Amino acid sequence: MSAYTSMAHLKFLLQEVHKVNDLFAFEKFSHLNWEQAWMMVESAKMLADRDMAPYFKAMDEAPAKYDGKGGVTTHPQLKRIIQQAAEQGWIGGAAKFEHGGLQLPMMIYNAGQHIFQAANNGCQGYFSLSAGAAALITSFGSDQQIKAFVPNIYEGRWQATMALTEPQAGSSLTDITTSASPANDGIYKIKGQKIFISGGQHDACDNFIHLTLARIDGAPPGVKGISLFIIPKFWPEKDGTLTPNDAVCAGDFQKMGQRGYSTTHLAFGDHEGCRGWLLGEPHKGLSYMFQMMNEARIGVGQTAASVAMAAYQASLQYAQERPQGRLASEKDPLKAPTLIINHPDVQRMLLTQKAITEGALSLAMECNRLYDLAHCTSGDEQHRSWLLLEILTPIVKTYSSEQGSRSASLAVQTLGGYGFTTDFPVQQHYRDLKIMSIYEGTTGIQSLDLLGRKVTMEKGKALQELLTEIGQATHQAGTYEPLKRYSKNLQREADRINEVVAHLGKFAAAGEIDRYLSDASVFMEQLSYVVIGWQWLKQATLAYTQLQSARFTDQSREFYEGKVHTMKFFFRYELPHAEACAKTLLDPEFLTNLKTSKALI
Ligand SMILES: Cc1cc2nc3c(=O)[nH]c(=O)nc-3n(C[C@H](O)[C@H](O)[C@H](O)COP(=O)(O)OP(=O)(O)OC[C@H]3O[C@@H](n4cnc5c(N)ncnc54)[C@H](O)[C@@H]3O)c2cc1C
């Protein structure tokens, strides 16, 4: 089993870059200190080493598969994984004590999840889905609903899912047609089909709680008429018995990646007997679901960074062991071949992976910290954290999944022919990663969200808060002579964001909304490079100050030198793409309008 993550990097992010210790001063997290929190993270590593990583390949080779009888057969290890994760608090760990959780900061909870995602991303999906759905029930459900479902979900006996997508409604949830007719006392009769539902009815859990979007009869059209329902496979009656509900798994989807993670087709009410329990108020379903979707988007971004990290670790190990060829300067053919890690092009591939994966994971931790601050501060500080989280969510989802795929592709390339074979894990990482830019809103949809909603929200306040944060980091880095040029470089790219937004804003102001948004994904790329540049400058500034102090207690000198070097690499090889994107966005010629789409014929 090759290494799949760097605990040193994780510790550096938690302790030094994103300062998890600050959180323990808040009452909500005052039951914890660093030693306890880190012990928890180390226990996640032990669990992943023992129960998850060894089954990464096996779960791909024996994929979850529809059994033809309304269920999905999964790898026999999955049940143990879910139970072990539940026992150690990795399903309900972030929940409040009163809901049976450990009240962990999201930073610590997701540090553990990062390890699981890197070890075996498909199996981690099962319990992160459950965690997100249970959190949704505790946020908006009645006491009765919380009592009926949440403990069983946190104990890993019941699997929860999010059931949004329908055959005709994927990106556009406004078009969902699953119907809900009032029966009695908050219970509705549900009828409809849901497709692509992850973690749908499988043999590793006893019951399935589908959080489902549907329309109550007579509801207004569009997203304002969507409500949220709890649809269990087995209905928990008041006397504690379970009655079958007419919520059936009608089939599954076989996939190029995440093959151990079931993807199902659900049929509700084919026999007129599907009961759904309204969660919260009618017609507010999509706004409630956004809680889970936003958390899931950060989760998908983090998963992408983690899977790409696993691929990077595997390719790094390979490059340190594989002899091949000689350096261009070596003329003697009788000299022993050098290790491929000594070839500059291999180093470029490895450094690109390091820059992407460690940069993306740092951004995920930034988001986890903002989530924690948004949940334990108040007033202006809380609002600021929330605004920053809002604007960073589509970025962490998109940068990590798009660049994570590129990074895993480089991992395959680093291994040469062996990378393409199933003897090595990198091809699986590469296949697993592709879905990350599709589910929880495609890259196109995330980019529309960024430019259409997040950049414009509160008259541009979220973007300005982000640029202020970046400005603070460039200012701090600029106080150290060797970092000055990088600080200036990033500040120049950050300023260019304002220039592009002002340029595009003219189209929005003139009512040309389609044109304003037509290159949203290019803007996403531009801002993403700047944001990851910010994460690298923060890491490098800290590493530089450690190197100056020459006190190496937690990490080695080489570790910090590696951080500064990777920042320089990112700024040389990656950040210039931001300027290229700006050039495209500022070009007056409009190429992606409907008229020129004739070019596609
Ligand atoms: C393995 C897997 C697991 C999944 N798990 C779940 C789950 O657990 N629960 C769930 O509810 N769903 C799930 N999904 C569904 C997933 O969220 C959707 O596939 C995704 O949202 C895209 O919808 P679609 O497939 O219908 O593609 P479409 O919406 O048809 O999109 C096709 C293409 O058109 C683009 N596009 C669409 N609309 C626009 C627009 N307005 N502007 C610009 N471009 C646009 C998209 O970006 C995309 O490139 C899963 C899907 C898969 C494959």
Write out pLDDT tens, residues 283-332. Answer: 999 999 999 999 999 999 999 999 999 999 999 999 999 999 999 999 89
Backbone angles phi, psi at 529, to 5 degrees: -60, -40
Cα–Cα distance for residue pair 90/102, rounded to 1 Å: 9
CA atoms within 13 A on the CB side of 290: 10
137 and 188 in a single domain? The answer is no
In sequence order, the 6+-apart residues with CB closer than 8 A to the CB of 437 are 304, 398, 401, 402, 405, 443
Residue 305: alpha-carbon gap to chain centroid:
8
Total count of domains within the chain:
3
Is 365 a domain residue? Answer: no
In sequence order, the 6+-apart residues with CB closer than 8 A to the CB of 253 are 195, 196, 263, 264, 265
| Mean per-residue pLDDT of the chain | 97
CB 564 within 8 A of CB 547: yes
147 and 277 in a single domain? The answer is no
- pLDDT by residue (tens digit) across 161-185? 999 999 999 999 999 999 999 998 8
CB 157 within 8 A of CB 183: no
Q: Atom 31 in ligand 1: which residue has the minimum CA distance?
A: 171
- pLDDT by residue (tens digit) across 544-598? 999 999 888 878 999 999 999 999 999 999 999 999 999 999 999 888 876 767 7
**Would you tell me how many other CB atoms lie within 10 Å of the CB of residue 535?**
26
In this prediction, residue 147 carries a pLDDT of 96
CA of 13 to the centre of ligand 1 (A): 32
16 and 141 in a single domain? The answer is yes
CA of 195 to the centre of ligand 1 (A): 11
Is 339 a domain residue? Answer: no
CB 23 within 8 A of CB 107: yes
Cα–Cα distance for residue pair 279/281, rounded to 1 Å: 7
176 and 270 in a single domain? The answer is yes
Q: Atom 45 in ligand 1: which residue has the minimum CA distance?
A: 444
Residue 438 Cβ < 6 Å to ligand 1: yes
164 and 148 in a single domain? The answer is no
Q: Which residue has the tokens 């495209």?
A: 584
131 and 175 in a single domain? The answer is no
Backbone angles phi, psi at 203, to 5 degrees: -90, 5
Domain boundary pick from 252, 286, 320: 286
Is 328 a domain residue? Answer: no
454 and 553 in a single domain? The answer is yes
In this prediction, residue 364 carries a pLDDT of 98
Residue 47 Cβ < 6 Å to ligand 1: no
- pLDDT by residue (tens digit) across 484-498? 999 999 999 999 999
pLDDT tier for residue 150 given thresholds of 50, 70 and 90: very high
Cα–Cα distance for residue pair 72/60, rounded to 1 Å: 15
Q: Where are the alpha helices (DSSP H) in 235-325?
A: 285-321
Partnered with residue 249 across adjacent β-strands are 266
CB 297 within 8 A of CB 396: yes
CA of 221 to the centre of ligand 1 (A): 21
Three-class DSSP labels, 195-234: EEEECCCECCCCEEEEEEEEEECCCCCCHHHEEEEEEECE
Domain boundary pick from 137, 153, 169: 153
In this prediction, residue 1 carries a pLDDT of 67
Is 203 a domain residue? Answer: yes
26 and 113 in a single domain? The answer is yes
Q: Atom 32 in ligand 1: which residue has the minimum CA distance?
A: 171
Could you tell me the CA-to-CA distances from 515 to 53, 148, 453, 530, 583 in Å, in that order? 47, 49, 15, 23, 16
Residue 197 Cβ < 6 Å to ligand 1: yes
CB 304 within 8 A of CB 528: no
The DSSP annotation for 265-283 comes to EEEE-TTS--EEEE-SSTT
CB 245 within 8 A of CB 223: no
Residue 510 has pLDDT above 80, yes or no: yes
Q: Whole-model pTM above 0.85?
A: yes
Could you tell me the CA-to-CA distances from 570 to 18, 163, 397, 527, 566 in Å, in that order? 20, 39, 19, 15, 6
Residue 411 Cβ < 6 Å to ligand 1: no
Q: Which domain holds residue 218?
A: 160-286
- pLDDT by residue (tens digit) across 419-452? 999 999 999 999 999 999 999 999 999 999 999 9
Three-class DSSP labels, 348-374: HHHHHHHHHHHHHHHHHHHHHHHHHHH
Q: Which residue has the tokens 């037509």?
A: 518
447 and 590 in a single domain? The answer is yes
Q: One of 440, 469, 493, 525 is an active-site residue; which one? A: 440
- Describe the crossing of helices 520-549 and 557-573 by its angle, rounded to 10 degrees: 150
Pocket test for ligand 1, best of 126, 171, 255 (most atoms within 8 A of CB): 171
Element (H, E) at 242: strand 242-244
239 and 101 in a single domain? The answer is no
More confident residue, 186 or 422: 422
79 and 176 in a single domain? The answer is no
**Would you tell me how many other CB atoms lie within 10 Å of the CB of residue 586?**
12
CA of 196 to the centre of ligand 1 (A): 9
Domain boundary pick from 231, 255, 286: 286
Q: Residue 16 belongs to a domain with what CATH number?
A: 1.10.540.10
CA atoms within 13 A on the CB side of 530: 31
Is 447 a domain residue? Answer: yes
Average confidence (pLDDT) over 395-416: 98
Residue 255 Cβ < 6 Å to ligand 1: yes
Residue 354 Cβ < 6 Å to ligand 1: no
**Catalytic annotation on 381?**
no
Q: Which of helix, strand or coil describes residue 380?
A: helix
Tokens of 186: 């908050």
Tokens of 577: 């793409």
137 and 260 in a single domain? The answer is no
Residue 534 has pLDDT above 80, yes or no: yes
Residue 2 has pLDDT above 80, yes or no: no
pLDDT tier for residue 459 given thresholds of 50, 70 and 90: very high
Q: Atom 11 in ligand 1: which residue has the minimum CA distance?
A: 164
Look at phi and psi of residue 272 and say left if phi exceeds 0, alpha if psi is from -120 to 50, else beta. Answer: left
- pLDDT by residue (tens digit) across 27-63? 999 999 999 999 999 999 999 999 999 999 999 999 9
Is 196 a domain residue? Answer: yes
Q: Atom 44 in ligand 1: which residue has the minimum CA distance?
A: 444
Tokens of 177: 């047609």
Is 319 a domain residue? Answer: no
Three-class DSSP labels, 112-167: HHHHHHHHHHHHHHHHHHHHHHHHHHHHHCCHHHHHHHHHHHHCCCEEEEEECCEC
Is 19 a domain residue? Answer: yes
In this prediction, residue 600 carries a pLDDT of 80
Q: Residue 170 belongs to a domain with what CATH number?
A: 2.40.110.20
**Would you tell me how many other CB atoms lie within 10 Å of the CB of residue 29?**
21
Look at phi and psi of residue 451 and say left if phi exceeds 0, alpha if psi is from -120 to 50, else beta. Answer: alpha
Q: Which of helix, strand or coil describes residue 33?
A: coil
